[in-house]
Structure 1
């Protein structure tokens, strides 16, 4: 007889979808186009007790939201400016309009379902556009400097001091510490979408964090979360997903 028969069932780990990006790679002398996620996103979420899954941006992807406990929308190419009623700037390098629309539909479905969401860089811009906001298509035209995307021979993260809104979700995750961005973006939020609150800015006024008003955990950050060793936001997302999984069991125990 199995001694574990009467043992309480182990709680299932929260499942967190990561919106996929496509990129060309060379593997065994073959040029391939692959769907991928930054390994740091996978590793940080797994370390926090979640099971990360890749979510390709194909038709029907939003139907998987019911099987997820949270969503991470990572950085990537620029959004199609037509999504916010603008013509393309010469510096805009958009992804696929079809993939953009699928990602927005996935993000909308996640928010409507009350899932925790972490939107990073392009992801935060998508969050703003989804709520009717607009973007600065080339930030240096507005700020007069390239501090948010340094022009260097190799990939370099910009470091800008952050001002966090006291009492916000982002301030709670970062414990109100003095923070600096680790950013590499040439676009940024312009007009704020309806139902969103700005919860962090840099000294030049650039929006660095947005939150969905009234949502338990829906946070967008403009900096390259996942390109540094800082895991706090990933762990906060996993924690919010785990808490969401506990709620139905807690509600049933009341009756």
Structure 2
């Protein structure tokens, strides 16, 4: 009998206003697919409220998922704020940067999605394009429509990279919804996948057991391979 305990994976929460039973309130929550995918992969997912000092909890988990969310404060990477940059909370930025820094230092398996990838890049000293259409000339990475629409892009993967091993011969068409992206890649990171217009869609930390950032909305499609890869790394932890 295998008596090993399942790995615990922390998911950083997003704080949003909601109306429940006619009452307005603010809640901390996670995308349900992140919870479901990690649970199906044999993990115990836990939602981590993002408060100062939350990085002290990392000793209790074997993996960390940092999901999408609002734009980062560009002051964190030495830029003035673009008119279309929407910053929710500098406290949130600093707390998640501390979490990612601790995960990098401790070798904790890390999957950073969308905003999470941008945080990873900035934590390593990189910068961001604050409004991608000014770089690419179109809104293909965040289509403008009546609802929440995805841009679809086929990735060009670096051979022998971790992301190439995750997807093998079946490279997905990404589901993108971002108006910002990596500009200068941070120290110790390698860009291992781009779209045909040159936008960085994956970064990986060199010398780390598993620290992968993806720019697309992983978790918003049925493809759970990244979550399973995080779960495998957490088990090895």
Band the TM-score falls in, shorter-chain normalisation: over 0.9
Whole-Å separation in 2 of the counterparts to 1:164 and 1:179? 11
Could you tell me which runs of 5 or more consecutive residues in structure 2 were left unpaired when the two chains were aligned.
Answer: none
Whole-Å separation in 1 of the counterparts to 2:29 and 2:172? 29
- Taking structure 2 as the reference length, what is the TM-score of the superposition? 0.98
Could you tell me which runs of 5 or more consecutive residues in structure 1 were left unpaired when the two chains were aligned.
Answer: 1-7, 245-255
Instruction: Indicate which of 137, 143, 147 corresponds to 2:140.
Output: 147
Pairing 1:214–2:200 present: no
Match in the other structure for 1:251: none
Match in the other structure for 1:10: 3
Instruction: Indicate which of 206, 220, 223 corresponds to 1:230.
Output: 223
Match in the other structure for 2:158: 165
Whole-Å separation in 1 of the counterparts to 2:183 and 2:10? 28
Match in the other structure for 2:120: 127
Question: Deviation at 1:9?
Answer: 6.9
Match in the other structure for 2:32: 39
4+ long deviations beyond 2 Å: 176-179
> Given that residues 164 and 176 in structure 1 are in contact (C-alpha distance below 8 angstroms), is that contact kept between their aligned partners in structure 2?
no
User: In the TM superposition, what whole-angstrom CA distance separates every residue of 1:173-223 from its partner, at most 9, and x where no partner exists?
Assistant: 011323321100000000010000000000110000000011111100000
Match in the other structure for 2:87: 94
Distance change in 2, residues 1:176/1:198 (3 Å):
farther
Match in the other structure for 1:198: 191
Match in the other structure for 2:169: 176
Whole-Å separation in 2 of the counterparts to 1:163 and 1:133? 21
Structure having the higher strand fraction is: 2
- Taking structure 1 as the reference length, what is the TM-score of the superposition? 0.91
> Given that residues 166 and 176 in structure 1 are in contact (C-alpha distance below 8 angstroms), is that contact kept between their aligned partners in structure 2?
no
Whole-Å separation in 2 of the counterparts to 1:151 and 1:158? 10
**Residues matched between the structures, number:** 237
User: In the TM superposition, what whole-angstrom CA distance separates every residue of 1:197-253 from its partner, at most 9, and x where no partner exists?
Assistant: 000000110000000011111100000000000000001100110111xxxxxxxxx
